[in-house]
A and B are shown apart, each in its own frame.
Chain A
């Protein structure tokens, strides 16, 4: 249902051109959950925002195709794109505390989604539309309350009129999910939806998302920097590093037999529940500065424990190592 080909997003900054997304290829099948994993700054959010064509200024999409149900989103007009947003493709954000508009009641923000996509049709079209307005509002209100109930907000009739600051973070994320679900989207983009929440709430939100996937058949791209969460939640995993895809494949392959040294490092740094106090492993070094990254060679070279001299020079493609499993590393060339 979604196929991204050679997507490139750049930011022109004072310090040079930052290739935030540098030639990403992705495919997602209907009803599947794809995990997009990588450290902060690897280009996960920009990949998601590209799908909705909402990359923030001064960033822009400079190359690639984003085929959604066979049509290239990058070729759509602004108004076509507007209709797709929220209706066919919905997105939820990392920080629920800043995602809802603070000056409008939560329920009204859900109702707004129903309104902008005309989910409840007006009784009369055109200039006589206002005649059925009361009725239409009431139906929208009822639908919004139903959505709130569905995502697990108790006393929805009362909470409908609450303002975002009167909700806890978890409740806000539920309300945001209600907004995302309001038009029954085919694809849900979830950008680290649990990162800002504490662990028990995290699990509840993940359950809710899984339920949406199973009941509505909504495909999900689930972005996280936490490989453990991705392992548990996703059908496929794609690992990003410095704007590139370094490994992707079915979850059991990527987690069970990781190939890329970066994926191995990420797996090793997941804390295990053991009795012994182990020192937590961390990948040495830091995420490279994208503005000064050398265009040649493997971007992971500086931090790689398995690096060889040639890594500095090679131009690496994604190499298919088994059916549906791809790696970008010299050792599999």
Chain B
């Protein structure tokens, strides 16, 4: 299995002359899970949105399959492979099933393929009983599952979860945690953000910390002590 990877070099972003971050080099790849931490306002969401091609960086060199791409053509690659999930997901004013169909419809999949995938995704996310409900009327946790299923049907290479565990109770967290594990086993790359400087050891191989415009990167291979010292309170619950 070839891994998908994309490298950003000299990535920087500022809002109104105020530098948010400046990252010399950053590679994201499929099949791995990475935690991105940083305090409120450090730029985690902005960084994820840039990775998903939703926000434009002030400067960036992008390498995909060892070829340097300009931002526009990189976006074309990114949009198909990397999906960003909002902290509080937005539901389109339509049924759960139609929400899940959205991406496949826009990308021109055949009717049969859509029907098949949606059925499978509804099952996967345990949403069959809600499939005809208006998605905007669901609870926060259910919306999160619809958002995940909506991304899952598109078989992305990388999923970017912005604060995947906030707004969820213990059961909801366990559920999302299990789904993330399954996704990872299927070879999907995952980046999770958290504003709590903490980390779960079983799920993630990398830890990135955004602080004062710098991004520190730790990997399990090289910084095992770092990994043993921090735990995410929210994930401890899951492991217990």
Task: Please say whether chains A and B are actual partners in one complex.
Answer: no
